[in-house]
């Protein structure tokens, strides 16, 4: 496994493409300034009004003249002059992006905030988690269990938000960094990004389903990007997935794509595979979260075995029980099947992080009686097929569709509400004691909200107001 040489930025003209609102652009800008960049231009297609919080964070650098801003669009000349470009990994189709291509043709080094951060972190201490759904919860469970276990710290970063680069931890010999990685991030870590492929000591895949096809173009590209989580040329990597076990039909379909059955022969521990009963007391809602916990348990025990290769079968199971006990105390991440309000025996469940149809199906199936669920779904489909969500309508107390996908979701008798406010106003006239109001959109939030967090917060506000 290669530990790549550090990119030098001192005295160079640097450009940050995409300031964004999640911290990566901010962290990259601050890091470049701290490491002596000659010039730093931050450019974003969003206007200043949408980026005011991020701009305020770097305002000292702007006021001192270290950083210049170009907002509301990009200028090709800026990219041709840059020597280093730090791109937001979500920039659409970077392999054909005219600005990034211009920078590369002019000899610039094009990278991402995450790649810069990983220069400073030993790959042997990284657990990387990806998947179309469940990756945030699985990664969080791993971090929850390992942090403080045997007196050692664990760190958590990546797609969960914030800047790993600006808050780059020093990883002690028995500490682990848990990274949640999106398909965008993985493409930039793979060989097609003009960089050597990076991989983690432990790679984890939850599942694959249609997601971000607007970014990737098709399933084949999406699967190939996700496959970067596994390095087939490395005998040192532990790779874990239960995709074939949990969803064999779906897995078989994805295995027919050009990237192939790349998650096959995952190194699951036979004793751990029998450990689902350990999660009966867990706080998280739904059988799918028990599956997430089991996969997380495989990763945690794998990490402990990396640190102690001489563990006996008895040691393995003792550690597994101790790890499961910690996971059972995990309250869950915000906006992931979390209780927003409980009043008059009606539960208002915030699952705003469900941005794929598969995640919404998991959410609906987490409740014993679908006929009591008032499902709010919709937003930006990202190219996913929403027919499976629309098909839920006859089973539910109601499907209330919002956002740009509203009409598509309402075709089987759902109510086209357009907005979250309208949906909840209608639901209030129909709910009965024992019902569940479930925000699980199956779509992205960009059409009506800044992000899924803002959507979930608004849902919670509306739930409580009534």
Domain boundaries, given as residue ranges, for the chain: 13-111, 119-328, 338-465
Q: Which CATH superfamily is domain 119-328 in?
A: Mur-like, catalytic domain (3.40.1190.10)
Please report the pLDDT score of residue 466 as a whole number.
Answer: 66
State the pLDDT confidence band at 301, using cuts at 50, 70 and 90. Answer: very high
pTM for this model (two decimals): 0.91
The CB-based long-range contact list for 418-425 (8 Å cut-off, 24+ gap) reads 419/448, 420/376, 420/448, 420/455, 420/458, 420/459, 420/462, 421/462, 423/376, 424/376, 424/459, 424/462, 424/463, 424/466
- The structural architecture, per CATH, of the domain 13-111 is 3-Layer(aba) Sandwich (3.40)
CA atoms of 333 and 353, how far apart (whole Å): 9
Helix, strand counts (H, E) of the chain: 20, 16
CA atoms of 421 and 418, how far apart (whole Å): 9
Query: pLDDT tens for residues 12-69?
Result: 999 999 999 888 999 999 999 999 999 999 999 999 999 999 999 999 999 999 999 9
CA dist 461 → 228, 299, 345 (Å): 40, 37, 18
**Which tokens is 297 given?**
């348990």
DSSP string covering 248-287, please?
HHHHHHHHTSTT-STT-S----HHHHT-GGGGTT-SS-SH
In a 3-state reduction of DSSP, which class is residue 375? strand
Q: Among candidates 330, 275, 270, which has minimal Cα distance to 297?
A: 275
DSSP string covering 40-51, please?
EEEEESS-GGGG
Query: pLDDT tens for residues 123-160?
Result: 999 999 999 999 999 999 999 999 999 999 999 999 98
Quick one: which H or E segment has residue 327? helix 313-328
- The mean pLDDT value for 368-378 works out to 98
> What are the phi and psi torsion angles at 434 (to 5°)?
95, -10
Query: pLDDT tens for residues 238-284?
Result: 999 999 999 999 999 999 999 999 999 999 999 999 999 999 999 99
Q: Residue 56: exposed, middle, or buried by beta-carbon count in 10 A (0-12, 13-18, 19+)? A: exposed
Please report the pLDDT score of residue 5 as a whole number.
Answer: 63
Tell me the CATH number for domain 338-465.
3.90.190.20
Higher pLDDT, 430 or 6: 430
Query: pLDDT tens for residues 194-245?
Result: 778 898 999 999 999 999 999 999 999 999 999 999 987 778 899 999 999 9
Q: Do residues 444 and 379 lie in contact, with contact meaning Cβ atoms separated by under 8 Å?
A: yes
As a whole number of Å, the CA-based R_g of the chain is 23
Query: At a CB cut-off of 8 Å and minimum separation 6, what does 248 contact?
Result: none
């Amino acid at each position: 496994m290669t530990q790549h040489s550090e990119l030098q930025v001192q005295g160079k003209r640097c450009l940050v493409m995409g300031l964004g609102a999640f911290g990566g652009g901010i962290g990259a800008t601050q890091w470049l300034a701290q490491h002596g960049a000659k010039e730093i231009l931050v450019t974003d297609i969003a206007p200043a009004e949408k980026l005011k919080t991020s701009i305020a964070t770097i305002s000292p650098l702007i006021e001192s003249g270290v950083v210049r801003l170009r907002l509301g669009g990009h200028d090709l000349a800026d990219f041709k002059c840059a020597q280093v470009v730090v791109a937001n990994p979500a920039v659409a189709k970077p392999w054909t992006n005219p600005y990034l291509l211009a920078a590369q043709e002019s000899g610039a080094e094009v990278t991402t905030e995450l790649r810069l951060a990983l220069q400073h972190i030993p790959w042997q201490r990284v657990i990387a988690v990806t998947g179309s759904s469940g990756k945030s919860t699985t990664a969080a469970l791993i971090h929850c269990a390992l942090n403080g276990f045997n007196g050692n710290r664990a760190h958590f970063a990546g797609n969960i938000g914030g800047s790993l680069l600006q808050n780059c931890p020093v990883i002690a010999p028995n500490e682990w960094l848990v990274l949640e990685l999106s398909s965008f991030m993985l493409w930039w870590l793979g060989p097609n990004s003009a960089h050597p492929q990076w991989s983690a000591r432990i790679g984890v895949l939850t599942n694959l389903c249609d997601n971000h096809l607007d970014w990737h173009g098709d399933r084949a590209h999406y699967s190939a990007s996700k496959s970067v989580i596994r390095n087939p040329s490395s005998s040192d990597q532990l790779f874990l997935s239960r995709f074939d076990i949990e969803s064999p039909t779906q897995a078989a379909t994805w295995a027919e794509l050009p990237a192939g059955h790349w998650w096959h022969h995952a190194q699951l521990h036979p004793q751990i595979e029998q450990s689902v009963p350990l999660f009966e007391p867990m706080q998280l809602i739904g059988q799918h979260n028990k599956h997430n916990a089991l996969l997380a348990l495989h990763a945690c025990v794998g990490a402990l075995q990396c640190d102690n290769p001489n563990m006996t079968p008895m040691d393995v199971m003792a550690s597994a029980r101790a790890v499961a006990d910690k996971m059972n105390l995990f309250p869950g991440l915000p906006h992931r099947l979390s209780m927003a309000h409980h009043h008059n025996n009606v539960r208002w469940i915030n699952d705003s992080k469900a941005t794929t149809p598969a995640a919404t199906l998991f959410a609906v199936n987490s409740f014993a009686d679908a006929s009591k669920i008032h499902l709010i779904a919709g937003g930006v489909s990202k190219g996913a097929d929403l027919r499976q969500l629309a098909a839920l309508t006859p089973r539910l107390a109601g499907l209330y569709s919002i956002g740009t996908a509203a009409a598509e979701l309402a075709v089987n008798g759902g109510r086209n509400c357009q907005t979250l406010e309208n949906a909840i106003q209608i639901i209030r006239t129909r709910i009965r004691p024992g019902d569940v109001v479930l925000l699980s959109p199956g779509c992205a939030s960009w059409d009506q909200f800044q992000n899924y967090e803002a959507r979930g917060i608004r849902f919670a506000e509306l739930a409580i107001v009534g």
